[in-house]
């Protein structure tokens, strides 16, 4: 079997997370964005309707498969069948790389459908690093892990999050997907300086970054909701990240209360202005 | 040698899983029992963070909100009949009895549909444990069970049609060719034919003046819903197990002599339509 040549994502590229509500606009547009990120899991169900939509859009735009259920920090065996299917999808869209999250989502037979937090403990690094290496090997493409928003911290933490994710990336020799909104949300929720996080990132490993909107709850906690425009604070942090580690491709995630395509593209275009 | 996960991490994930699987008290939005602080203490929070129970509850909310919103979106007709709050309570019953074991939320919806269908189909004497709880909850809310059954059938039929791959069609046969009567019909595996007595699209679910038949099917254009006339409904009901010739004979036997003369034309048209609408994919 020949491996198709992956499509390139420009380092200054601006992309969107792909949502069915925008399929039609994307089919009718040309060059509205530089690339798209799709939730890989949604295109691996038995129905071929989502895959046909993806094929049409992949004919016009580069696609990055982004998974939510590899359970990289889990304790059970990696799902090799699912990894094979992700690799198949990545080849189908000629993806340059694949990403998932530094989190756990399943225990035993119970699937929890969430990005659950991990203690930043020394003895987890070899375990998680080994699993990421195995995932990368199975997918056969560069592989990136994303920092998640967290609301709960563990008494077992032995280091800050930025040290933990950097050491895991080094152990696994993998890429990073840095979510700027998640850094901001976690910084406010746990009282650390988001700039310290940005300064510690090994930027040469960064495949692309995420930006998104969040909500502030009545109790003051920030909640990563992807249901609104990017906040001014997150744009400022994005500008700081660009100065420290740019250029890097950027994806705007907008999943709930989704406005029309033109509004989302206009929000994404702000990134160009913010980083100039 | 492959590393193994630290034992403490396995134990901690087990505690999280147990806590996330606990139902909430609907009126307070907290754990029913025991107290949230006791549960969260087992999750090894950082003692410096404020309100660890409130922080953990955000995860709890996310997990159940995703499951409940997926079930609502996957079963729109059943949601209309039950109302979203009752549907959420049934969802909690289903997934606290046994946590979701499917990789995808779509798989969780499949299990919900099968579980609710079984609970609705069970005879009174068979009700026990979980099915008894579901039926008692539905009856306490005065849910019209026959209407809910039809709504669920519609939702499940749509899920079957969406979940299958695009059918491959043979060339439609020429009915003038006598050999077609000996062939068996290859029915589209996505096809569901339903008999409905209530308009489940409406919240009040009024009784229809007369029962209607609908077909829900995956065609090359996507998922289609068609109203069926009585001949087509009978044709599709018979075609799953018989040759085309047997189908013709059985339908002819089922109508009175007055209609028999015009039946041949109607039946030929219905057979052509069954292929055109992709209810049938070919003959074997």
B205, pLDDT greater than 70: no
Whether residue A102 is preceded by a cis peptide bond, meaning omega within 30 degrees of 0, is no
- pLDDT tens digits along A195-252: 999 999 999 999 999 999 999 999 999 999 999 999 999 999 999 999 999 999 999 9
Cβ atoms of residues B189 and B245 within 8 Å: no
Q: Residue B224: how many CB atoms within 10 A of its CB?
A: 15
The dihedral through the CA atoms of A158, A163, A169, A172 has a sign that is: negative
Domain layout of chain A by residue ranges? 14-275
Which residues are CB-neighbours of B178 under 8 A, at least 6 positions away? none
Maximum alpha-carbon separation in chain A:
55
**Chain A interface with B: residues with Cβ < 8 Å:** 41, 45-49, 52, 69, 74-75, 79, 82, 104, 107-114, 116-117, 119, 121, 123-124, 126-127, 130, 151-157, 189-190, 217, 219, 221, 223
Which region among A212-216, B32-36, B55-59 has the lowest average model confidence (pLDDT)?
B32-36
Helix axes B145-163, B129-140, angle to 10 degrees: 120
Residue A18 and residue A107 in contact, taking contact as beta carbons nearer than 8 Å: no
Residue of B nearest to A117 (CA): B59
Query: B170 with B183: CB under 8 angstroms?
Result: no
- Using CA atoms, how far apart are residues A46 and A67, in angstroms rounded to an integer? 17
The secondary element (H helix, E strand) that includes residue B215 is strand B207-219
Interface test with A, best of B59, B97, B102, B162 (most A CBs within 10 A): B59
Percent of chain A's residues with pLDDT above 90: 95
Tokens 């209607």 sit at which residue?
Answer: B212
Enumerate helices (H) and strands (E) in chain A, giving the number of each: 9, 12
Which residues of chain B make contact with A151, given a CB cutoff of 8 A?
A: 55-56, 58-59
Residue A83 CA: distances (Å) to CA of A195, B95, B104: 35, 26, 14
Query: What mean pLDDT comes out for the span A93-112?
Result: 96
Under a CB-based contact definition with an 8 Å cutoff, are residues B91 and B111 in contact? no
Q: How far apart are CA B183 and CA B192, in angstroms?
A: 22
The DSSP bridge partners found for residue B187 are: B280
Top pLDDT among A105 and B209 is at: A105
CATH 1.25.10.10 fits A14-275, yes or no: no
- pLDDT at position B251: 80
Alpha helices by DSSP H, listed for chain A, are 23-28, 49-58, 80-92, 125-139, 161-172, 180-190, 194-200, 232-245, 261-274
Q: In the numeric block, which tokens belong to residue A19?
A: 């949502």
CB of B168 within 8 A of CB of B263?
A: no
Which residues of B, range 36-55, sit inside 8 Å of A by Cβ? Answer: 43-49, 51-52, 54-55
> In the structure encoding, which two tokens stand for residue A65, read together?
């498969």
Q: How distant, in Å, are the alpha carbons of A87, A273, B125 from that of A269?
A: 31, 7, 63
In the structure encoding, which two tokens stand for residue B202, read together? 């409406």
Task: Report which of B133, B47, B128 is spatially closest to residue B90, judged by C-alpha positions.
Answer: B133
Task: Decide if B45 and A41 are in contact by the 8 Å CB cutoff.
Answer: no
Residue A2 pLDDT grade (very low, low, confident, very high; cuts 50, 70, 90):
low
Q: Which residues pair with B24 in a beta bridge?
A: B31
Instruction: Choose between A161 and B173: higher pLDDT.
Output: A161
Q: Quick check: A154 and B46 CB within 8 A?
A: yes
> What ipTM was reported for this prediction?
0.95
To test the contact with chain B by mutation, choose from A43, A49, A160 the residue with the greatest count of B C-beta atoms within 10 A, namely: A49
Alpha carbon distances (Å) from B130 to B84, B86, B119, B200: 20, 16, 8, 26
What is B32-84 written as a DSSP string? SSS-HHHHHHTT-B-TTSS-HHHHHHHHHHHHHHHHHHHHHHH-HHHHHHH-H
Q: How many angstroms separate the CA of residue A68 from the nearest CA in chain B?
A: 10
- Give residue B31's pLDDT: 66
Question: How confident is residue A33, by pLDDT bands cut at 50, 70 and 90?
Answer: very high
* Whole-prediction pTM: 0.92
> Are the CB atoms for B44 and A155 separated by under 8 Å?
yes
- B13 and A45 within 8 Å at the Cβ level: the answer is no
Q: For helices B105-121 and B84-97, what crossing angle results, to 10°?
A: 100
CA B161 – CA B126 distance, rounded (Å)? 31
Residue B87 is predicted with a pLDDT of: 94
d(CA A85, CA A138): 10
Residue A60's Cβ-count burial label (10 Å; 0-12, 13-18, 19+) is: middle
Sign of the dihedral through C-alpha B108, B113, B114, B115:
positive
Q: How far apart are CA B258 and CA B243, in angstroms?
A: 25
CB of B3 within 8 Å of a chain A CB? The answer is yes
Reported as a single tens digit per residue, the pLDDT across B247-257 is 888 887 877 66
Spatial distance between the Cα atoms of B243 and B65, rounded to a whole number of angstroms:
49
Structure tokens at A171: 């152990």
Q: Which residues of B touch A46 (CB under 8 A)?
A: 163-165
Residue B1: HSE in the Cβ half-sphere, 13 Å Cα cutoff: 3
Answer whether B105 sits within 8 Å of A113, measured CB to CB.
yes
What is the pLDDT, as a whole number, of residue B266?
78
> Nearest to residue B213, comparing CAs of B231, B193, B199?
B193
Contacts of A229 (CB under 8 A, 6+ apart): A213, A267
State the distance between the two ends of chain A, measured CA to CA, in whole angstroms.
Answer: 44
How far, CA to CA in Å, does B2 sit from each of A131, A132, B6?
A: 9, 13, 13
- Looking at the predicted structure, is the pLDDT value of residue B206 above 80? no
Determine the Cα–Cα distance for residues B251 and B186; give it in Å rounded to an integer.
18
The residue of chain A with its CA nearest to that of B2 is A130
Q: Which residue is closest to A134 within chain B, CA to CA?
A: B2
Distance, CA of B154 to CA of B80 (rounded, Å): 12
Task: Record the tokens describing residue A85, joined without a space.
Answer: 């299917």
At A18, list the tokens: 């792909």
Nearest beta carbon to residue B46 from set A109, A121, A155: A155
């Amino acid at each position: 079997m020949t491996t198709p040549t992956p499509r390139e994502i420009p380092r200054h590229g601006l992309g969107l997370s792909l949502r069915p509500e925008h399929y039609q606009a994307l089919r009718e547009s040309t060059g509205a964005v530089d690339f798209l990120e799709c939730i890989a899991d949604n295109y691996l169900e038995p129905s071929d309707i989502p895959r046909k939509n993806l094929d049409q859009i992949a004919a016009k735009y580069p696609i990055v498969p982004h998974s939510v259920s590899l359970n990289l920090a889990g304790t059970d065996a990696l799902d090799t069948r699912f990894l094979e299917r992700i690799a198949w999808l990545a080849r189908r869209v000629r993806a340059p790389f694949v990403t998932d999250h530094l989190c756990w989502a399943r225990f035993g037979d119970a699937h929890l459908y969430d990005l659950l937090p991990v203690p930043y403990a020394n003895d987890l690094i070899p375990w998680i690093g080994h699993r990421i290496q195995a995932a990368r090997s199975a997918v056969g493409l560069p592989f990136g892990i994303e920092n998640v928003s967290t609301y709960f911290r563990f008494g077992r933490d032995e280091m800050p999050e930025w040290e933990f994710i950097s050491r895991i990336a080094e152990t696994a020799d993998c890429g990073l997907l840095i979510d700027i909104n998640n850094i901001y949300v976690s910084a406010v929720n746990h009282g650390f300086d988001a700039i310290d996080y940005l300064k510690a990132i090994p930027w040469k490993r960064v495949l692309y970054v995420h930006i998104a909107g969040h909500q502030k709850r009545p109790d003051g906690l920030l909640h990563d909701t992807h249901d609104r425009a990017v906040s001014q604070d997150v744009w400022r942090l994005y500008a700081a990240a660009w100065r420290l580690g740019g250029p890097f491709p950027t994806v705007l995630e907008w999943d709930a209360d989704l406005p029309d395509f033109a509004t989302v593209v206009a929000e994404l275009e702000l990134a160009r202005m913010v980083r100039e | 040698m492959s590393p193994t996960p630290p034992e403490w991490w396995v134990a901690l994930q087990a505690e999280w899983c147990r806590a996330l699987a606990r139902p909430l008290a609907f009126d307070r939005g907290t754990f029913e029992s025991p107290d949230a602080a006791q549960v969260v203490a087992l999750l090894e929070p950082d003692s410096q963070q404020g309100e660890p129970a409130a922080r953990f509850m955000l995860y709890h909310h996310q997990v159940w909100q995703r499951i409940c919103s997926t079930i609502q979106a996957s079963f729109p007709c059943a949601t209309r009949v039950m109302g979203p709050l009752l549907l959420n309570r049934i969802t909690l019953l289903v997934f606290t009895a046994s946590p979701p074991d499917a990789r995808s939320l779509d798989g969780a919806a499949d299990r919900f549909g099968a579980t609710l269908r079984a609970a609705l189909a069970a005879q009174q004497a068979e009700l026990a444990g979980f099915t008894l709880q579901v039926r008692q909850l539905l009856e306490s809310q005065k849910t019209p069970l026959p209407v809910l059954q039809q709504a669920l059938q519609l939702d499940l039929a749509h899920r079957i049609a969406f979940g299958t791959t695009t059918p491959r069609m043979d060339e439609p046969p020429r009915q003038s060719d006598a050999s077609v009567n000996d062939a068996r019909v290859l029915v589209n595996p996505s096809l569901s034919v339903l008999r409905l007595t209530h308009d489940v699209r409406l919240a009040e679910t009024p009784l229809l003046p007369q029962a209607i038949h609908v077909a829900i099917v995956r065609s090359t254009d996507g998922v289609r819903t068609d109203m069926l006339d009585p001949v087509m409904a009978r044709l599709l009901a018979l075609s799953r197990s018989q040759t085309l010739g047997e189908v013709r004979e059985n339908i002819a036997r089922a109508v009175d002599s007055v209609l028999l003369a015009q039946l041949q034309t109607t039946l030929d048209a219905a057979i052509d339509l069954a292929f055109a609408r992709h209810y049938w994919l070919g003959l074997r």
